[in-house]
Structure 1
């Protein structure tokens, strides 16, 4: 590999931190794809970012594109040569267009006729030219959740582009991007560095910028923040309460990080922990400090975008900002707890959940009824039912409190705290918080039965209502987060091994909408759409768990809508097939399934079985049927399949020696019914016709 390097820096106004990771991935992928398409060999691509720049570094670039040899088809021989065998104008024009001589022309047959072909050698362009031609499109191809135009330009970007650096080794690679200046001039830290830094080569880029208070490598900035903050916490006898998402966000908010520690006034430590931590993390991007037992200490850590000068002044400023936020929180908290939580429920009648689905109070009543039905379905104890009912009634009450109005991130958490203050028991209080779990992929799941059932009811009510009024996820559009909520339901069911049939609980949810809201919709169609929506999520989740796609299709095709049961089947069959193999039996049982479709019933009459092989199959099936059912009842699906596979030999003998589609209608129907009975039992395990050899 060569030592050739290319640097692209896109200088911008401050980018939203949440946009940056995806933008870097696009920049990397689009560049890699372009280089491969343009036949430029390279060693590796690196991407970096700060709030004010997206950076691309390509290392080990070839000097030029790979030379390629092509055989290009020209005119037919009869047109290319005259009667004396001399090149015609058609052939000469073709050679001129391809830049070849007569000795580079060959003849070859194509679809019954002889054509001339040119053996063309295409020399590669130099890498600098290829980069110059393609960089504008690579920059344009970066898509953001929100983009803007500025200064009369047509290009859309998350923030205005102020400068572009484009250097190949030590030379500028110019290109035109709607008049934006492209060269070798970059900018340092907005306040501490130079606003005009001329770069002589790619190699000096990182060092020169660091001298101007910009650490370009986000991994280096992340480590400075992480380990510097941990050190400061240890100096106070505490531990950093590290939130990976917050760390990532802060990393992309600063160019030259300097962690510093501040103090929380003791009077605010009397507030609930979440009331203190939420303003710190969500509004001010501060890291809390806790002791070894996890108790909050009177310190916070923030990260300055700059050096260590005047840190005391910066610290005091941050302490004042936090004090103002906590003073607000303190006021809201003591105002809210003047009334018990249940006093807020009536106010939910004034808040619209969704125009066609009623108010938050309407949702509360629906969720209360749905949770009650699910509790009955799962046969939970009376005490648990009482807790579920009470938690459901109070579940949305905190949404109309002053605290949640100001700090929306506290929904559920503050409901739990206010429930405790109001004298509700621990289970009811915790369930109010757990109704929102899981909030995102990998989030914690409800720890109580009451919380799990309330969470399922709340999410299912939203899904059922949205589908009933035709607000369904389309493409990337999912304004009510229905995909996330469906995945939440699936995760809870799997985690708690709940014996819940989706078909039944969807029925409950839709019926309650009819009963409570008088909602009119095509019941059968909506229910089927919701089932298919869940099946799509189940397939994706099982696939991510490493289960074969054909086994997923096979177990879903059984028509069983018990998610936990489907997972058990898929797991056991996945293990069984990988270890034992089903190569020899798939064809056999697929023949059974195909013919069984022609049967009118599964009733088999013994006296109509006349051939020895069909009698043997009938008796073999009778011998294994009860054993299969027994293993199915025990959820030992691999063992049920092992019993079923014992039918392979008698089934093969049947097909080898018995004509199914005979003229005698009664005999024909009886034989089809025998196959249908076998197929029906097979479907209780898995649809083997879906399994791919």
Structure 2
């Protein structure tokens, strides 16, 4: 039994693609190991300073050589064929690789792809043995595992907060950014002038987190503190410039809020004609008109009350209006918050002014979804309209890997699953496309329909992988009916029963898909979302003679795996 460490040294990879590449490597390598029937305890992947680390523990098959592992890695890399832009240059992952090093406890192997910068003082690149590599990590004060980097920062950050009688406002997106950016992240305390605590808490926290990537501190009673915490590398110089920059920005924000226009929020809607939309695809007034048509269609699909429909219509009309205000033009990340400020001041109903803000949610991993059904409907409609607008207007052939686009789709999926919204996304896409057809006269209707469905499924698959589902469990499901809520229930139940019976359910499904059910004499019971677990239990334990019966029950639910 032995351990394996693979170090892929790269250059010129955009930060937005690192997580995606890690998951792609994880999937491809696991599949290559499965082909070889390689037994191991665990695979961990991490990224530090342009290094992609793959750490495989407790490998039982000692017959494989470093050359065998080289073949596995090269095959995995060759199968990652998407492109990304770096300094206007289109690159693949393979084109970004400088060198690969493979270590076990006794040997190492180096595969050179491109020249490593000779001027780069990098002991990790120059390590020649497993022990050298481990020593270099310690010497350079690098924590290899991301979860340990997060733990290191959180521990020191919470200590600083407690010293001030506060707790940290936890933003997982920023924490992940720290863990990806710093080799040994430690916390630094900062503060801004107390006079800015008069700023609305939501606006204050958004400025700190979105503009400066720092974590606010809050007192136990929920009151804002003027302290915040951020990360730096251990032993790096501490910059005090940040505090001055924050004070300057808060002064600007406070002045803009104080001098807020007397116009009502609805009066800014007409001004949206002068605010350009994504990729110069018209303006935000055009977008608002499409949203006004799209969101009621989702209301019909969900059979909501007339009261909710009225709220949806009002939120749809107002939610982009603050894009035309001076403060949002200068600070785009305050979109929604300023809209709520205006709408509340204008005397709009609570569900409306809250919805004007909440329709932008969730913006990051740890943020909650909108509270009301009306805001959730507008949020989904707004995000789906954005996805369609981006695909139609983009000149980038690799739009499928655009970080913001994928993040937007992730938000849609999150709202659907957390709200348990039972509707067919394919039907909703058709209705959205019809609105675009009327508005813009799009030509290649089928191409855009196919493209939007493909990217939604790709993002959903990626989210399932991040959640710990097995690749085969995800890929065996037939996604022709794009009801995310029901598909996720199916996948969750499949995963639970398959885990319970140590993979036997997946084996039974594969056998079931091969049998001929034409001569089955049984009348199958109807499958519905409430008896899935029971059917999976029975399928896991059924005889080969009964597989044809279950094939009829699960007709159209599964695909054969490649």
| TM-score normalised over the length of structure 2 | 0.67
Map residues 1-400 of structure 1 onto 2, 5 A cutoff: 1=1, 10=9, 17-21=15-19, 49-51=47-49, 130=67, 145-147=84-86, 156-157=95-96, 178-180=114-116, 186-187=122-123, 202-203=130-131, 205-207=133-135, 210-211=138-139, 213-216=141-144, 218-307=146-235, 314=239, 316-353=240-277, 358-372=282-296, 374-375=298-299, 380-400=304-324
- Rounded to whole Å, the distance in 1 between the matches of 2:259 and 2:489 is 50
Q: Classify 1:383/1:299 alpha carbon distance in 2 versus 1 (closer, same or farther; 3 Å).
A: same
Distance 1:229 1:459, change over 3 A: closer
| 1:477 equivalenced with 2:477 (yes/no) | no
Deviations 1:439-485 (A, max 9, x none): 56786333212212323433454566678x69799776266977776
2:540 aligned partner: none
Q: How many residues align?
A: 522
Q: Secondary structure at the match of 2:228?
A: strand
Q: Judge which range, 202-211 or 479-488, deviates more.
A: 479-488
2:359 to 435, 450, 456: 435
Pick aligned residue for 1:449 from 368, 373, 376: 373
Cα offset for 1:297? Answer: 1.5
Give me the whole-angstrom Cα distance separating, in 1, the residues matched to 2:334 and 2:396.
27
The answer to whether the 8 Å contact 2:340/2:356 transfers is yes
Instruction: Give the secondary-structure state (helix, strand or coil) at the position aligned to 1:424.
Output: coil
* C-alpha distance in structure 1 between counterparts of 2:529 and 2:94, whole Å: 60
- 1:210/1:216 contact within 8 Å kept: no
For 2:220 and 2:345, how far apart are their aligned partners in 1? 27
* Structure-2 change in CA distance of 1:454 and 1:288 (3 Å): same
Which secondary structure state, in structure 2, belongs to the residue aligned with residue 384 of structure 1?
helix
- Deviations 1:510-529 (CA, angstroms, capped at 9, x unpaired): 554566x3736588x68985
Q: Aligned pair in 2 of structure 1 residues 396, 175: CA closer, same or farther (>3 Å)?
A: closer
- Bigger shift: 493-502 or 136-145? 136-145
What is the Cα-based RMSD across aligned positions, in Å?
6.3
Cα 1:286–1:42 change in 2 (3 A) is: same
Equivalent residue runs for 1:595-606 within 5 Å: none
Give the C-alpha shift of residue 282 in structure 1: 2.7
Q: Following the alignment from structure 1 to structure 2, what is the Cα–Cα distance between the partners of residues 322 and 168?
A: 48
3-state SS of the aligned residue for 1:250? helix
d(CA) in 2 for partners of 1:636, 1:166: 47
* Cα distance in 1, alignment partners of residues 441 and 518 from structure 2: 44
Q: Is the 8 A contact 1:366 1:513 kept in 2?
A: yes
Alpha-carbon distance in 1 for matches of 2:484, 2:21:
37
Structure 1 portions without partners, runs of 5+: 67-123, 189-196, 594-620, 622-627, 643-684
Pair 446,592 (structure 1): closer, same or farther in 2 beyond 3 Å: farther
Q: Out of 241-250 and 135-144, give the one that drifted further.
A: 135-144
Any conservation in 2 of the 1:589–1:689 contact (CA below 8 Å)? no
Q: Given the superposition, is the C-alpha separation of residues 327 and 58 from structure 1 closer, same or farther in structure 2, using an over 3 Å criterion?
A: same
Residue equivalent to 1:519: 441
Does 2:326 align with 1:402?
yes
Unaligned runs of 5+ residues in structure 2 are 498-504, 536-551
What CA deviation, in whole Å up to 9, does each residue of 1:382-419 have, x standing for no partner? Answer: 54343222211111112223333333333323322332
Cα drift, residue 588 of structure 1? 11
* 226-235 or 216-225: bigger deviation: 216-225
Q: Per-residue CA shift, 1:484-528, capped at 9, x if unaligned?
A: 76676566556556675768756654554566x3736588x6898
Secondary structure (helix, strand or coil) at the match of 2:181 reads coil
User: How is 1:639-658 mapped onto 2 (pairs within 5 angstroms)?
Assistant: none
Structure showing greater relative contact order (alpha-carbon pairs closer than 8 Å, 6 or more residues apart): 2
User: Do the aligned partners of 1:398 and 1:412 also contact (CA within 8 Å) in 2?
Assistant: yes
Partner secondary structure for residue 252 of structure 1 = helix
Structure 1 CA distance, aligned partners of 2:488 and 2:37?
Answer: 46
Quote the Cα distance in structure 2 between the aligned partners of 1:275 and 1:463. Answer: 27
| Structure 1, 242-251 or 474-483: larger mean CA deviation | 474-483
CA 212–273 in structure 1, closer or farther in 2 if over 3 Å, else same = same
Distance 1:156 1:200, change over 3 A: closer
User: Structure 1 residues 169, 477: closer, same or farther in 2, change over 3 A?
Assistant: closer
CA distance, structure 2, for counterparts of residue 164 and residue 562 of structure 1: 42
How far did residue 301 of structure 1 move?
0.7
For the pair shown, the structure with the greater C-alpha radius of gyration is 1
Distance 1:401 1:362 in 2: 17
Measured in 2, the distance between the counterparts of 1:686 and 1:302 equals 55
Change (3 A) 1:590 1:349: farther
Q: Please list the CA deviations of residues 322-358 of structure 1 after superposition, one character each: whole Å capped at 9, or x if unmatched.
A: 2122223223333445433223211111234368964
